Structures are given as structure tokens and as C-alpha cells.
Amino acid sequence: MHILTRLAAGAAALAILAGVAEAKEWTTVRFAMDATYPPFESLDPSGQIVGFDKEIGDAVCAKMKVTCEFANTAWEGIIPGLLANKYDAILSSMSITEERKQQVDFTDKVYNTPPAIAVPKDSKIAGITPEDLDGVTMGAQTSTTHANYAQEKLPGVEVKIYPSPDEYKLDLTNGRLDAAIDDVVVLDAWVKSPDGTCCKILGTLTPDPVIHGAGAGIAIRKEDTDLRDMFNKAIEEIRADGTYQKINEKYFPFDVYGS
């Protein structure tokens, strides 16, 4: 019995030591971002990633005292890339949904803004109810909560799926779509820009908690609980010390964090 007890104790000690040895020391964090989603993330003329999410990433990295790297990554395949260890986190306006949580874990929310519908300025569409939108051809980005909402909640709508917002914006501008659905901030920034003069916001939709989740957060692998906790602490700190508000005010005239 004494020998067995010692063996068990030795095995437990080895397991603890192995766990300590395998624990990752986060000195560098690699972020993936789909930089086609202004004002949250986009590329400037020099090819650098800029936007609200990028500055939030810089701010949390400063709090965590780590070096952060940001890579432009196509939205389609961004979660598989995380699971394949091509990067450590996704900071790209990704909604925290139960469907995604089957594959990845999330931090607390970074922001929470509602979806909206944009149409050409001369559109005859009267409103945003399913009845108003019956027979409409609507563009949405692939693998997004907005595409899911249109497909599930707007049965009379023909939903056309696009790899990025740039493609649906082009088709809406050229009359190949009747409408588009996306985050209200993204659509509002577009229709107020020179590229979006064709169009207007038709209306803002009430988020569906099941489809849209609790806001957008940072996605990480499920096993990286220490990284999640570091992010959450840093998000709390930048909210408390005014850093978040300064970044918010640079991009938006209202609080995007939400209630």
C-alpha cells in the first residue's frame, strides 16, 4: 500500500510538473482580422490594418504587456485557421453565438451594435418587416449572423451570399441587389462615404438573441483559457480607465459597447 501510495503521489507530481511545463507564456499574441469591414477593420493606403478593432487590440495588448501581431485573413475559413494554430485569436467583429461556441471560446464582448438594412436611395421598399421585404433580393456576407438572420427570419427574401462586404456593396451600387443586411455601423459608415452615395439605411432591426448572440468578442481556442482570462481582464481595464471611450469617440458618435 505504501509503495502504491508513493507511486500515485509520484505520478500526480509528474502530472503537475508536466502541466506547468506545457503552460504557455504569452509574450506574443497573433491576431487574425478580416480587414474588409470598416470602420471596425480595413486596410489603409499603405496596406496596414486600421480601425476600431485594431486599436482595441493594441490597447488590450498594452495592458497585457505582450507583443501583438495582426494578419489580414479572409473571413471564410477564419475559424478553421484559429483551430489549426495559424494564429492565437480572432479580433474581427465576430458575434458571440452558441453555434460558434461549439468550436471556439470567446472573451467578454468588445461591442454590441444592431443589424440594419440598406437600399438604393430610389428604392420603393416601404419598410423592414418580412412583409415589406417579400420578393426582395438581399446581399449578405457569408458565415455571418446577418446572413443567418435574413435566411431564417425573412422567408420571402432571396439571400445572395458574398465573400466580403465589398462584393455586396458593389452589386447594390450597380442595381444587382435590392437591399443588403449588415451591422448598422458598417452600413452607416458606407452610405456616408463617397462609395456609398447610391444608398441609404432603410431601418435598424431588433437583434435576435439566439442568432446575434451577446455582441462581438475575441475568439480563442477552447483550451486557451489563460489567454481568455488575460483578454477579459484587459478589456475590463480599458473600460475602467477611459481608454475604450477614447477609441470609441474617435470612430463613433455613440457608445458601441451597448447596454
The answer on 204 and 148 residing in a single domain is yes
Residue 145, domain CATH: 3.40.190.10
The answer on 169 and 59 residing in a single domain is no
pTM of this structure? 0.84
The answer on 201 and 144 residing in a single domain is yes
* Residue 150 falls inside a structural domain: yes
**What is the per-residue pLDDT for 24?**
80
AA letter at 68 = C
The answer on 225 and 103 residing in a single domain is yes
Q: Which domain holds residue 240?
A: 26-112+214-251
* Residue 13 falls inside a structural domain: no
Per-residue HEC secondary structure of 41-108 comes to EEECCCCCEECHHHHHHHHHHHHHCCEEEEEECCCCCHHHHHHCCCCCEEEEEEECCHHHHCCCEEEE
Report the number of distinct structural domains present in the chain: 2
* Residue 4 falls inside a structural domain: no
* Residue 259 falls inside a structural domain: no
The answer on 195 and 236 residing in a single domain is no
* Residue 92 falls inside a structural domain: yes
The answer on 108 and 223 residing in a single domain is yes
**Contact status, residue 51 vs residue 186, Cβ threshold 8 Å:** no
Q: Kindly report the CA angle at 57 between 56 and 62, in degrees rounded to 5?
A: 100
**What is the per-residue pLDDT for 207?**
92
Q: What value does the mean pLDDT of the chain take?
A: 92
pLDDT tens figures, 124-148? 999 999 999 999 999 999 999 999 9
